[in-house]
Structure 1
Amino acid sequence: MTTVNELFRKRIGIEQDEPINFENLGQALEKAALALPFENVCVMKGGTTEITEQSLMEKILTRNEGGLCYDLNAILYLFLAENSFNARLIRGVVYDASDQKWSETGKTHVAILIMDKGQQYLVDTGFGGNLPLIPVPLNGETVSSRNGVFRVQKEPSEYGDYCLYMKLNHKDNDWRKGYAFDANDTATTISDLNEIQKIIVNHPGSVFNKRILITRLTNKGSVTLAGNSATIWTDGTIKKEEISDEKFKELASDLFGLTI
């Protein structure tokens, strides 16, 4: 039987016999960010299915699609577990910086906490273009990657006891909130994520049931299709253009391998 470990390695480009440990986890996270698009095509097409380990494998590792946070971080969690990481899925509330408010959908962001040598770290491959690309410690230390600088601050509130802050390269001049989370609010099974998917699909405050969004980091920046526009960041330079529905479908196929 083919395992998540085997298929995930093949999908993101890691040799089957290469050990994955805390020291080189950042390399795996960067490869995942380059390979797995953050997208809501199934949500917009009305094609969501029950989330199980098998359905995640088929969607992301067999059909080579992407997904939202509860898809991408769930498959990463399964991969980490198969590689002997002490990992847990957690839930968080995303902060909308443009409207300066917390998401109306509540705790619908899914991320991962891992433990290494007595220290907890936040790991996330399902936060669109805001990915840390490395584990972020929960002790407030600032860490940096080619995507920016990140820190997790202990910040008790009604939304959780920690908050992820970030300052993305070429985009942010100041620190901004990413999401709050409760380090003890664990999704104990993959099936727990179905409740989150249902909210994302149906809630009027969900940003993912309004228009198709597809984005992925690239070696030099990022590429995003949203609504009727295509946005490409290359070495800090942005190029944005309005596109037709047909062009959208063409780019979705050419850039992401997705059929709209």
Structure 2
Amino acid sequence: MSFPLALNQYLVRLDLTVPDSLSLDFVCELQRRHVAEFSFNNLAVVLGDDISLDLEDVSEKIVTRGLGAYCFEHNKLTFELLKALGYDVQLKLARVLNNNLERAVGRTHRVTLLTLNNEMYLIDTGFGGNGPLSPLSLSTQQEQQSGFEHYRMLPLEGGEWDVQIVKDGDYFTLYRFDFAHYSEADCSVGHFYSHRHPNAVFVNNLMVTNKELDKTRSLLNSTFNIKTESGEQNRKVGSPRVLQSILAEHFQIKLELVVAEHLFERFVQSELDDSQTRS
């Protein structure tokens, strides 16, 4: 089977062999390896880079250069591979709620719906620390385990669905999507807001995540967190060199010290100052 070079490189980087027939096991392994291998981060956003959604550019950034990315890039790469392999996939957009169910927000998250053997699944390789490591079935409202976390797909009136994660014994709604038709042009609108609007979350915070079956590492501004099934450990990022070291050691992102100093001043120092004031 012949693919664009960008998709061939994607398969090679994840050490995946394409099966002879369409397989849910392959999709599961693709999602797990993708999320573990490629960090979710908004470094390009906060550094003011131009972020292209062309497939070749996305592959160059994520696969070749290992820089990680955010949802519009991660899920585009996954979608295009599954589509090229012959899977029945649909592009969908979602509203990120983070449990504020009355929150008025635009559709700034991209996901993929897969239909296979008359079953439908949500595929998401680009939601960061709370995102699933495996496909989530829409055919059940029971909890579904993915890694050490549990999720629920909840249908709503009007054809919308909530994607929920179990937190502290209760359901926490991550985002809401519907079955409307969306195109790459719709993604461009959400992408433009997400990386250019002055009020966008990704413009105003430093966010980096890496997720494996038994461990999630995340950096949010001044706090570095490691989460496992047994609990969480937090530490404060005390200096630009510590920030530089965390990015290199835990996320395989190597930055010049001057860049780490810039990010520290913009996103870390103010939080540290605020926490010291409150204490």
TM normalised by structure 1 equals 0.87
Match of 2:134 in 1: 134
Q: Deviations over 1:66-104 (max 9, x none)?
A: 11111111111111112211111110001123xx24555
One-letter identity of the residue aligned with 1:163: D
1:29 is matched with which residue? Answer: 31
- 1:208 corresponds, among 186, 194, 202, to 202
- Report the equivalent of 1:183: 179
Question: What is the CA distance between 1:16 and its match in structure 2?
Answer: 6.4
Assess if the C-alpha contact under 8 Å between 1:90 and 1:112 holds in 2: yes
For residue 219 of structure 1, report the CA deviation from its aligned partner.
4.2
Question: What amino acid sits opposite 1:148 in the alignment?
Answer: E
Shift of 1:153: 1.9
**Superposition deviation, residue 161 in structure 1:** 1.5
> Which one-letter code corresponds to 1:236 in the other structure?
S
The number of residues matched between the two structures is 251
Letter of the structure 1 residue corresponding to residue 192 of structure 2: K
Name the structure 1 match of 2:151.
150
- Aligned match for 1:92, one of 91, 94, 108: 94
CA 235–101 in structure 1, closer or farther in 2 if over 3 Å, else same: closer
Deviation at 1:141, TM superposition (A): 3.5
1:220–1:138 Cα change, 3 Å? closer
SS at match of 2:72: helix
| Code of the aligned partner of 2:148 | N
Consecutive aligned runs of 4 or more in structure 1 exceeding 6 Å deviation: 16-20
The amino acid of 2:216's aligned partner reads S
Identity value in percent: 21
Output the CA distance in 1 between the equivalents of 2:4 and 2:121. 29
Alignment partners' CA distance in 2, 1:103 and 1:38: 24
* Higher percent of residues as helix: 2
Root-mean-square deviation (CA), in Å? 2.3
Q: 1:5, CA displacement in angstroms? A: 3.1
- TM-score, scaled to structure 2: 0.81
Tell me the residue number matched to 1:193.
187
Once the two structures are TM-superposed, the CA of residue 236 in structure 1 deviates from its matched residue by 2.2
* In 2, Cα distance between equivalents of 1:131 and 1:201: 20
| Structure with greater strand percent | 1
Residue 63 of structure 2 is matched in structure 1 by: 61
